[in-house]
Amino acid sequence: MSAELTGPHGPKPASPFTFGNIFVYGTITILAIYYLAPLYVMVVTSLKGMPEIRLGNVFALPSEVTFEPWIKAWVSACTGLNCNGLAPGFWNSVKITVPSVVISIAVASVNGYALANWPYRGANVFFTILIFGAFIPYQLMLYPIVILLRELGVFGDLAGLVIVHSIFGMPILTLLFRNYFSSLPGELFKAARIDGAGFWGIFFRVMLPMSIPILVVAVILQVTGIWNDFLFGIVYTRPDSYPMTVQLNNIVNSTYGEKEYNVNMAATILTGLVPLTIYFVSGKLFVRGIAAGAVKG
């Protein structure tokens, strides 16, 4: 009975206020503030009217919240000769991004699966050439691709831009899928072969259901890269089919009339909402997929 009244036993809990913890969390806090400050300024500026913005205090909260800049950025901001806002560019970006992501991931996943599980004569040479293409600067390929798309009859159309994004996304995606499929237990592949499954049967019934993490990584990488692309969008499309980023550039860099910073900030946030939403929704799977598919070679 007396032993029970002597109090708890064991080592004293370590204090959370150690030098290491203070340094780590302090550094994280400073970096978070550094990266979130521009976003905060963009949001509060987009909710202010121009008279309040002219006062110059960019960090102050809006005294009167207004969503007029957001409405104008979406439906009536001038993106060149047309004043239809970002809405047409948004739908152009959707028409470009969705098929480009689907085509590039579909082809790259099959390539990675074949290279990892069905080696053939010359596979390593093919893989080396494919990966080498990922490191060629895009600027060197601009004019040859213009000629190629012109000969195919799709230069200036959304279909031409879909082809470009699909091809340029395949090298790095093939590498990711190859490494991921190589990291899966080989016994699964052998067991499926013994059961009589062929190339496509193993791919759809065994490999693909286990590839959710790397598929999420591929989707995030492709959506982010394609949606945020400006160079290909302005080179390979016409004004009526410009993606959202090109129209954002036309709004922000317009030299006609008053510089409406609130509209510019609202337009910038609207343009970045899609990749940000996808990343935050699937962030955990993104980290898992990167760890599984980008480390083991």
pLDDT tens, N- to C-terminus, the chain (297 residues): 455 556 566 666 666 777 778 888 899 999 999 989 999 999 999 999 998 888 888 888 998 899 999 999 999 888 877 888 899 999 999 999 999 999 999 999 999 998 888 877 777 787 788 777 777 887 888 888 999 999 988 898 899 999 999 988 888 899 889 888 988 888 888 888 888 888 899 999 889 988 888 898 899 889 999 999 999 999 999 888 899 999 998 888 876 767 889 999 999 999 999 888 887 887 666 666 666 554 444
- The SS3 call for residue 237 is strand
Domain 87-293 has CATH 1.10.3720.10: yes
Q: Which residues contact 167 (CB under 8 A, 6 or more apart)?
A: 104
What are the phi and psi torsion angles at 237 (to 5°)? -130, 165
Give the number of residues written for the chain: 297
Q: Give, as one character, the DSSP assignment of residue 4.
A: G
Residues of the chain with CATH 1.10.3720.10: 87-293
CA 199 to chain centre: 31
SS3 state at 24: helix
Backbone angles phi, psi at 119, to 5 degrees: -60, 145
160 and 92 in contact (C-beta within 8 Å)? no
Task: Kindly provide the b/e burial profile for residues 122-148, where b requires at least 16 CB atoms within 10 angstroms of the residue's own CB.
Answer: eeeeebeebeeeeeeeeeebeeebeee
Which H or E run contains 61?
none
Q: Is 3 helix (H, G, I), strand (E, B) or coil?
A: helix
